[in-house]
Each structure stands twice: as C-alpha cells, then as structure tokens.
Structure 1
Amino acid sequence: MIACPVCRAPGPAPFLRVNGADYWRCGVCLATVLDPAHRLSAAQERAHYLTHENDPADPRYRAFLSKLADPLLARLKPGAEGLDYGCGPGPALAAMLREAGHAVALYDPFFAPDRAPLARAYDFVACTETAEHFHAPADEFDRLGGLLRPGGWLAVMTCFQTDDARFGAWRYRADPTHVVFYRAGTLRHVAAQRGWSCEIVRKDVALMRAPG
C-alpha cells in the first residue's frame, strides 16, 4: 500500500494478518485499513447489506441511531436541510430527522443510487455506520465536505478502534464489508486536513463542522 487511503500520507505499514487477510496501519492518522485485495465484490457487498435488520420502526435501532441524532439535532436550526449519506435499504435516521422537522435527502450507492442529491449543498450530512465501508475514504470525505454549506455539519458514527491487542478477535472487524477502522484521533486528523472543527460528542460519534 503506497499511501494511506484516509489521509493520503505515504507508507502505511503492515499491521496484522487475520485469517489470511492483511491489514495496514497509517503512522500519521492511525487508521487501520484492510488490504484492497481482500475486499468483497460489489455484488457480495450488497448481498451482505441485505442481511442487516435495520427496520426504521424498530425502537432498539432508533435508540442506537439516537447516539448521533440527539447531539446533531441539538445543534441544528429549525427546518434545516440535510442528506443521509449511505442511508442503506431502511433509512431510519432520515425518518427520525424528518420527524424532528428537517428535510432529509437520501443517497446510497446500492439502495438510493440517484446522484441528483449530490449536486447541491446542505446544512448537515449524516453518515451513520457508513465510513467503515469507504474504499477511498479521503475522496469520500472530500466529497462530503463539498456537500456542506458554510457552517454545515458532518455527523459521523462508526465504531472507533481502540485496542490493538483485541483487533483480530474484534466482532466489528469481522464484518467482511468493514474495510477501514478509525480512532477518534483519525477523524480529528481528517477534519484538521480540511479546516473543519471536530468534536467527539460521545463514544463512536464525531460532529465535524465546516468553517463559516
């Protein structure tokens, strides 16, 4: 791996091999990345997502999403316009934000592939349990930044990687669609590279804000 796909720093180092799959570690942003040779095909990836039970009416799933929704809602002005980026087949977060009075567009490369919502800007972009699937994270974060109005919020929820000793047995790592793992400091670095602020509002949730 020539450059880190998260921060574009040169020379990530081999980190660990688990069940024949190689992982790399960036010495700058500390992201851990699955070697591209071990990724699923697009068809396999989509099929795996369809096994997830993300029912918008499930109160347990809503409680899980509230980890991001509650702190984001506390910062939004009434009637804000946003995008659920990577909404999946059951866009529960969008439903929750709409119920709170905000307009929310949808985009997902597999389940809401119309790219028209990517041609405008928003007061907020929510990215829940999506960033760990990014094959080109630096490019994705650049795209997300381009979707924000001045002062707009990028809300990211992904399970932070904290314990190297447990990485091999980590259930989150074992999901075959999870190809990049972030520490809290990784997302702070991503934000700093783009001139955004970054607040880790609770475990696994970062709120980044564009200047303006």
Structure 2
Amino acid sequence: MPDGYEKDPAMTNQYCPLCRRETAQLYFKDRKRDYLHCSHCDLVFVPPAFHFSYAEERAYYDLHENDVGDAGYRRFLSRCAEPLLARLPAASRGLDFGCGPGPALAAMLEARGHSVALYDRHYANHPQVLKEQYDFICATEVLEHLHNPEDELTRLWGCLKPGGVMAIMTKLVISRERFANWHYKNDPTHIIFFSRDTLRWLACHWQAQLEFVADDVIFLTKP
C-alpha cells in the first residue's frame, strides 16, 4: 500500500463489505475512484466515499432503457432464464430481486407458468416480499450495485426454500491486468465485483452447491 494512503478518506472503512474482514488493500485506482481488494473472500469493491446517493443512483438508472418487450434485452436475459427454467418444477414461485423498471425476466418466467414477485430498491420497493419464501430467486445484473452485500445477500438467502436456486448474472473479475481496462468497472453505480473465488467463498459460507452456468451466469442451490 502506498505511504500515507491510510489517511485517504476512502480508506476509513477498510473492512470488506461481504465477509467483514479487515483485509482490504488497494487493488486499482483511476481518475474517479479507488478499488479495494479483500484477500479473504477475493471481493473487489469501491469504498463508501465514492458511492452515489440514493437520488444520484435513481437519476442514473432512469437513463437506462430496459423495455419488457425489447428482443435484444430478452435474448440477454434468456442466458439465465433458459437454464433456470430447465431446473424448475412446474408452477414454481420466485422473486426477481432488482427487477428494475421493466421486469422482463419476470415476464419471461411467468409466460412459462411460474409466478414471480418483484423487488427493486428504486422501482418496486415492496419490503414485504422479502419476508416470504421462494423456490427460486433471480438477481440479474444487481449484485454489483449492492451497498451492503453481506446483509442483503444473507436476507435473500433466508428467503430461499431448501432445494431452491439463486440465479445470478454479473460480470466477474478475472485479473488485475484485465480490470484496468474493464468497461464494467466504469459504471459509477457498480461498486462491488465478484470473482469465481468470491463465489466459491460464498458457496462455502452458505454450504451451497455452486454451478458456473456461463461466464456471467451462476447458480447457487440451497441444501
């Protein structure tokens, strides 16, 4: 770590927001933000000093156009939906966590006979749905936005029935060298970044079965 870096306000919280260990060290730094790395669970994360406020996040998300009927968007989501559908019993009940303003994934799953509850901090803030139990939970392009991943993921895991599947879509960190030119980190609302080793740590922590379905599609099955 560079001399004097511990005085940077971005480093006042050096603990990892996922495993809560005080093992964070500087991983990468660009003109806008710092990125820290946890040596225990391998998470890369942006310190809180660089996080957007709720209003700033909402204004940024409102620029996105995720139309339920957009064919390209549905093809993108199908890389998660199709392998999930192959595993679900008929008439399963699920939760689309971080569904956004256009819950296309939920519509795709409901069209195949499943029921899907919606939750999104900005667009479907219905906390009561986080007190129920589900056969599956989808978190597509949402993990990278979590401010408190340990709390939020633990709560989600508690909503999943035994034998249920948590279906995740998120781009994964491969190496420090690739991270330097990685477009995914440039979204200012992306504040945590998982690697395969992070997901292995999470699966071990939860005693879950882990499956890498595709480069950015991951299934965790609850015992």
- TM class by shorter chain equals over 0.9
Percentage of matched positions with identical amino acids: 45
Q: How does 1:68-107 map to 2 (within 5 A)?
A: 68-107=80-119
Partner of 2:181: 169
Structure 2 residues without counterparts, runs of 5 or longer: 1-12
The number of equivalent residue pairs is: 211
Q: How does 1:79-158 map to 2 (within 5 A)?
A: 79-158=91-170
Using the alignment, how far apart are the partners of 1:124 and 1:164 within structure 2?
A: 33
Letter of the structure 1 residue corresponding to residue 208 of structure 2 = W
Q: Deviations over 1:189-212 (max 9, x none)?
A: 11210111111111111100111x
From 37, 42, 56, the counterpart of 2:68: 56
Using the alignment, how far apart are the partners of 2:116 and 2:32 within structure 1?
A: 41
Partner of 2:18: 6
Partner of 1:196: 208
TM-score (norm 2): 0.92
Runs of 4+ that moved beyond 4 A: none
Instruction: Report the alpha carbon displacement of residue 184 of structure 1 after superposing the two structures with TM.
Output: 1.7
Q: Deviations over 1:157-187 (max 9, x none)?
A: 0011113113233211000000001112211
Instruction: Report the alpha carbon displacement of residue 92 of structure 1 after superposing the two structures with TM.
Output: 0.5
Q: How does 1:26-45 map to 2 (within 5 A)?
A: 26-45=38-57
Root-mean-square deviation over aligned CA pairs: 1.0
Q: Deviations over 1:30-61 (max 9, x none)?
A: 11100110011110101111111111111110
Contact 1:184/1:204 (<8 A) preserved: no
